[in-house]
Structure 1
Amino acid sequence: MKILITGGNNSKALKLLKAFPGHFILFADYGSVPGMITDNYAFSSIGELNKDSIAHILLNFCITEAVDSIIPLHHFEVEPIAKSAVLFGEYGIDVLLPSLENLHDFLSGEKSSGTNFSIFIKGNCIYTSGEKHNLKTAENLNGVFYSDNNKDFKLFTI
């Protein structure tokens, strides 16, 4: 499976690499990105940032790069991508974000402050970087979340 993680120029994005062994990770960001390809991951430029058409830009990029799943990490990408999740799905691209109806429950006013994160796919925790939490399944969780108290999960953004 090929997974696109946006915010690839940020060190926080690189922490997610260990959560997906056996998958190819494409770290991408806007503007200049160092071109590098390995067996397990690569870095790529999405192009110039245009916040007005972010969902269109990312969908086009996902189609061109044959991406199976997208994890948008930039705070400004989250809502437009959540609104377009059905469209991404029509192209066979899974959006790893909470549903639009639940999205604001998981947004924080600031960027992620926690160092530990957990990754949920359709309610199942597939990875956690810190202390194991009691949550093995959580119906509303889909995406990358941080939590300092293992109760109040917030979306992991940069």
Structure 2
Amino acid sequence: MKAFPTHFVLLADYGDVPGMVTENYAFSSLGLLNKDSIAHILLNFCITEGIDSIIPLHQFEVEPIAKSAVLFGEYGIQVLLPDTSLIAGYIANEQTTFQNFAVFVKGECIFASGKEIFVSTDEKLTGVFGYNVADDELKLFTI
């Protein structure tokens, strides 16, 4: 929420989710989990709800959404993930907890919880990344 202070944020998950709406954010259900049609479920949800950016947080969502980023883009929905060809390098090999996270959009760090200043020259670096100290390799933040 701190990374997007001027945006209305819709938080969604699968199954039963308490419906709650505030001035700055809301909670919503994506319906039943069907891992075979993740991209379809999320694209349909984004279109129906008027979403303009999506950040997949479940690890099982990352690859299907990255592969469908062009389709999401055709509907004006920005996928906040690295390019499909780069994702493998940003996935943690084991379950990891991070002290900090940073949000990058097309190479620009728009938020870092540890207050570091990241200078990125890679325009493809997009997504939410976890790290402990600024010198760590950035890894996609997933749950």
TM range (shorter): over 0.9
Per-residue deviation, residues 71-114 of structure 1 (Å, max 9, x unmatched): 00000000000000000000000000000010101001233411
CA distance in 1, matches of 2:50, 2:35: 23
Q: Which amino acid aligns with 1:59?
A: L
Specify the alignment match of 1:150 in structure 2: 134
Which runs of 4 or more aligned residues in structure 1 lie more than 4 Å from their structure 2 counterparts after TM superposition? Answer: none
- Return the alpha-carbon distance in structure 1 between the equivalents of residues 96 and 18 of structure 2: 24
Q: Percent identity?
A: 62
Q: CA deviation at 1:131?
A: 4.1
1:156–1:43 Cα change, 3 Å: same
Measured in 1, the distance between the counterparts of 2:96 and 2:26 equals 24
Q: 2:69 aligns with which of 63, 74, 85?
A: 85
The correspondence for 2:41, drawn from 57, 77, 92, is 57
C-alpha contact (below 8 Å) 1:107/1:155 kept by paired residues: yes
Alpha-carbon separation, structure 2, partners of 1:111 and 1:65: 31
Amino acid at match of 2:140: L
DSSP 3-state at the match of 1:82: helix
Shift of 1:149: 3.3
SS of 1:141 mapped into structure 2: coil
Shift of the alpha carbon at 1:143? Answer: 0.5
Q: CA RMSD in A?
A: 1.1
User: Structure 1 regions of 5+ residues with no counterpart?
Assistant: 1-16
TM-score by length of 2: 0.94
Q: Which runs of 5+ in 2 are unaligned?
A: none
TM-score using structure 1 length: 0.86
Q: 1:111, 1:156 within 8 Å by CA — same for their partners in 2?
A: no
99, 105, 116: which one aligns with 1:121: 105
The number of equivalent residue pairs is 141
- Report whether the alignment pairs 1:106 with 2:90: yes
